[in-house]
């Protein structure tokens, strides 16, 4: 097991390198140099940037490009970027006065991370039992309801689900707050909104895996030996059915990233979403690349943990 874990950890190194390299070149190809063309921007007293007009002396533009290292050849910028990622020194932000990229990520990143983990926990803790119950009563009303609910959860966009939840639970009934992230009550609606897709996927995967496992010969043998149904379900059926569910956790986290920012905007959560939007519109390359790298590393780390968990549940995966 230790050898397998070390091999998986070493395998993540080239994956991280490729992800970091792609991030650098893709982000830099979006809009070119923010100080070379167009209206020049400057710092405001509130810490933002303000446009000063279309015509500015070239010396000012050159000073700004020199300050942020944009006058260097691309390979030197790339080398400095790799060094910064390795030391988590991502440089100053172009959009926020006197703040570095790592300071912004350290202050708002934990909120985004907590939202992802709460949504994933919501999906797993409810989706797995729902899938098991649906499989055990394959032709029951619960199974039909699970199929319809899963289809709706996968079809409806997150911003629409969030808006409906706000209307029913906050505006109409006044049960929960609509914005913020400062209390456990304010975390319920965003976590449910983001967690509906993992819940639907986990329920469907669990149902299919349980139905397939129930047809296996070793399950019939265990029942023929007189083992109780509860023991057979936990020790044989559920243990083997969790393998495909855990395998989907990594891709699910990647899918959550596509709806994460919409949820943060709908519920006014002070996470990385607003910084991501402002960094894109202001061509704040250091901040945009830093947030992209951090989110990518989070998904890679989650996939590594999933692989290790699968190796514990199913030792055969170590041989693949």
What confidence tens digit (pLDDT) does each residue in 135-179 have? 887 677 877 887 888 888 888 888 899 999 999 998 888 888 888
Superfamily of domain 108-319 in the CATH hierarchy: MetI-like (1.10.3720.10)
pLDDT for 36: 60
Low-confidence winner among 142-151, 184-193, 259-268 (lowest mean pLDDT): 142-151
| Ramachandran region, residue 102 (left: φ > 0; alpha: ψ -120 to 50; beta: rest) | alpha
Query: Which residue ranges does the chain devote to CATH 1.10.3720.10?
Result: 108-319
* Mean per-residue pLDDT of the chain: 81
41, containing H or E segment: strand 41-43
pLDDT for 35: 64
pLDDT for 4: 75
**Percent of the chain scored above 70 by pLDDT?**
88
Burial of 244 (C-beta count, 10 Å sphere; 0-12/13-18/19+): middle
Low-confidence winner among 158-167, 223-232, 236-245 (lowest mean pLDDT): 223-232
Number of neighbours of residue 257 by Cβ within 10 angstroms: 15
Of residues 313 and 10, more confidence is placed in 10
pLDDT-derived band at 31 (thresholds 50, 70, 90) equals: low
pLDDT-derived band at 34 (thresholds 50, 70, 90) equals: low
Q: 313, 247 in Cβ contact below 8 A?
A: no
Asked whether residue 46 carries a pLDDT value surpassing 70, the answer given is: no
Among residues 163, 155, 168, the alpha carbon closest in space to that of 201 is found at 155
The SS3 assignment for 51 reads strand
Distance of CA 96 to the CA centre of its chain: 24
Separation CA 26–CA 24 (nearest Å): 6
pLDDT for 166: 92
Asked whether residue 56 carries a pLDDT value surpassing 60, the answer given is: no
Asked whether residue 220 carries a pLDDT value surpassing 50, the answer given is: yes
Asked whether residue 45 carries a pLDDT value surpassing 50, the answer given is: no
pLDDT for 192: 94
pLDDT for 191: 94
Q: 178, 164 in Cβ contact below 8 A?
A: no
């Amino acid at each position: 097991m230790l050898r397998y874990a070390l091999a998986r950890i070493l395998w993540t190194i080239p994956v991280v390198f490729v992800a970091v390299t792609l991030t650098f070149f893709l982000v830099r190809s979006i809009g070119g140099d923010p100080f070379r063309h167009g209206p020049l921007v400057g710092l405001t007293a509130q810490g933002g940037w303000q446009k000063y007009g279309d015509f500015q002396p070239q010396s000012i533009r050159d000073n700004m490009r020199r300050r942020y290292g944009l006058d260097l050849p691309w390979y030197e910028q790339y080398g400095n970027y790799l060094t910064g990622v390795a030391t988590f020194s991502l440089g100053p932000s172009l959009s926020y006065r006197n703040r570095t990229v790592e300071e912004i990520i350290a202050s708002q990143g934990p909120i985004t991370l907590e939202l992802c983990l709460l949504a994933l926990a919501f999906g797993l803790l409810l989706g797995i039992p729902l899938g098991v119950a649906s499989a055990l009563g394959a032709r029951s009303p619960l199974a039909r309801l699970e199929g319809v609910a899963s289809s709706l959860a996968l079809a409806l966009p997150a911003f629409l689900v969030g808006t409906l939840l706000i209307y029913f639970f906050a505006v109409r009934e006044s049960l929960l707050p609509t914005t913020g992230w400062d209390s456990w009550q304010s975390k319920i609606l965003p976590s449910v909104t983001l967690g509906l897709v993992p819940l639907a996927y986990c329920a469907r995967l669990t149902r299919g895996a349980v139905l397939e496992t129930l047809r296996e010969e070793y399950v019939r043998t265990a029942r023929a030996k007189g083992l109780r149904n509860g023991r057979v379900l936990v020790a044989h059926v559920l243990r083997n059915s969790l393998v495909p569910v855990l395998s989907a956790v990594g891709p699910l986290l990647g899918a959550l990233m596509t709806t994460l920012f919409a949820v943060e905007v709908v519920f006014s959560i002070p996470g990385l979403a607003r910084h991501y939007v402002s960094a894109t519109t202001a061509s704040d390359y250091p901040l945009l690349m830093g947030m992209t790298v951090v989110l990518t590393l989070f998904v890679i780390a989650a996939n590594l943990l999933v692989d290790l968990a699968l190796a514990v549940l199913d030792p055969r995966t170590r041989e693949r």
